[in-house]
Amino acid sequence: MLTPKHLAASASPEERRLTRLYRSLGDADRHALIAFAEFLARNERPAPTPQPLQEPSPLPRPAGETVIAAIRRLSLTYSMLDRGSMLHETSALMSAHVLQGRDASEVIDALEALFERQYQDYRTRIQGGGPLKDDPTQP
């Protein structure tokens, strides 16, 4: 069985110093120190684990491709992207095609630009640039 002496011998210098300080405090200060230590322990966040950069897997754009097929192709090409963050822009482009009659090839060009822009933002985040200003997934 480990005794307090055995525990003290295996403690780091910081732990031994903290124990000495704790013992020198009165009851109220000891409770405050414990409460503060518990607060710090609850709020400790581990450093984020770096994610490996994923490269797109380009698929050729077939002749006569529909807007829906283009969205599927681009989603497969850029599988690492969060499609939820692009939903608003993708929906707006799809609506422009279906409801306003915008040419499919123009919409597909805009979709390709959207996915490429999102991929460049993703690269910046992964390579250490941190979250981007307009990233809705970041606090």
The predicted-structure confidence for 63-77, as pLDDT tens digits, reads as follows 999 999 999 999 999
d(CA 92, CA 88): 6
Per the CB < 8 A criterion, the answer to whether 107 and 97 are in contact is: yes
Is the pTM higher than 0.75? The answer reads no
15-73 tens-digit pLDDT: 898 899 889 989 988 888 887 777 767 776 666 677 789 999 999 999 999 999 999 99
| Cα–Cα separations (whole angstroms), residue 88 to 27, 93, 136 | 57, 9, 12
Q: Which residues contact 137 (CB under 8 A, 6 or more apart)?
A: 82, 84, 85, 131
